[in-house]
Amino acid sequence: MIYEIEITLRTIRREGLGSLFKKLGTYFHQLFCGAVFLCQRLPRNAKPQELVDFSFHAAGGLLQPAQVRSEIVQLAELVRQRQPKTIVEIGTAQGGTLFLWCRLTHPEATIVSIDLPGGIHGGGYPFWKTFLYKTFAQTEQKLFLIRANSQSPDTAKKLLSILGDTTVRFRNPVNIDVFRCLVMGEWMEVE
Ligand SMILES: C[S@@+](CC[C@H](N)C(=O)[O-])C[C@H]1O[C@@H](n2cnc3c(N)ncnc32)[C@H](O)[C@@H]1O
């Protein structure tokens, strides 16, 4: 909620009322799409490719991943094959990739997705979307949504309290942020 108030004030200050009304239009449109999404049946036992297509197109593109389709299909296939029991994602954004991890990973996996409200590239998401994202998890999965800066020591502590002594492999440059904050949290070694 604080995020929404901050964004409203920042928009009025920097861009004026016209821009605020435009953003409000988008916000309510997304709320409507969210309601549509909740009425849809989530695909079960679908192939990675089908799930990727669903994530791009469901509810008017509400979850659309910020990814190249062919690349995310490959990664989704890898996740399906390896069935990791722990996933940490930096950058929840619209929730498209989070949806894939929940559907393709181990049915008892622990999944953590972190995003910074007001983050770069128009990132972050409004509070109401946490309810939507929670519906992605399978019955026995544990899904944690952290709306905070991945580089902050507080986020590291939160992540540590969730993961305990589980080791997470870091795969791309964005994740270096978490690597750094976990180093601040004096936690882990990375190969
Ligand atoms: C490229 S998007 C994520 C894409 C998403 N996984 C997908 O495929 O749809 C990058 C996201 O990282 C988030 N982000 C950027 N810096 C961050 C930080 N320091 N801590 C947490 N999230 C951050 C942004 O808010 C944005 O939502």
Q: Report pLDDT for 191.
A: 39
The atom of ligand 1 lying closest to the CA of 150 is 20
Specify the DSSP element, H or E, that contains 114: strand 110-115
Q: Is 55 in the pocket of ligand 1 (CB under 6 A)?
A: no
Q: Is the pLDDT of residue 189 over 80?
A: no
Please report which confidence band the pLDDT of residue 167 belongs to, taking 50, 70 and 90 as the band edges. Answer: low
CB neighbours of 104 closer than 8 A, spacing ≥ 6? Answer: 48, 51, 76, 79, 80
Please report which confidence band the pLDDT of residue 1 belongs to, taking 50, 70 and 90 as the band edges. Answer: low
In tens, the pLDDT along 24-52 reads 888 899 999 999 999 988 888 899 999 99
Q: Report pLDDT for 164.
A: 79
Q: Is the pLDDT of residue 188 over 50?
A: no
For tokens 């399978």, what's the residue? 138
Q: Report pLDDT for 138.
A: 95
Please name the amino acid found at residue 139: T
CB neighbours of 185 closer than 8 A, spacing ≥ 6? Answer: 153, 156, 157, 159, 160
Please report which confidence band the pLDDT of residue 105 belongs to, taking 50, 70 and 90 as the band edges. Answer: very high
Q: Is 95 in the pocket of ligand 1 (CB under 6 A)?
A: no
In tens, the pLDDT along 52-63 reads 999 999 999 999
Mean pLDDT, the chain, as a whole number?
A: 83
Q: Give the tokens for residue 82.
A: 């390896």
Q: Is the pLDDT of residue 175 over 70?
A: no
Q: Is 156 in the pocket of ligand 1 (CB under 6 A)?
A: no
Q: Which residue has its alpha carbon closest to ligand 1 atom 27? A: 123
- Rounded to the nearest 10°, the torsion over CA 143, 148, 150, 151 is -160
The pTM (predicted TM-score) of the whole model is 0.85
In tens, the pLDDT along 117-166 reads 875 555 688 889 999 999 999 999 999 999 988 878 888 888 888 987 66
The atom of ligand 1 lying closest to the CA of 125 is 27
Q: Report pLDDT for 97.
A: 95
- In three-state form (DSSP H/G/I as H, E/B as E, the rest C), the secondary structure along 120-185 is CCCCCCCCCHHHHHHCCCCCCCEEEEEECCCCCHHHHHHHHHHHCCCCCCCCCHHHHHHHHHHHHC
Please name the amino acid found at residue 54: F
C-alpha dist (Å) from residue 168 to 64, 68, 120, 137, 163: 26, 24, 24, 20, 9
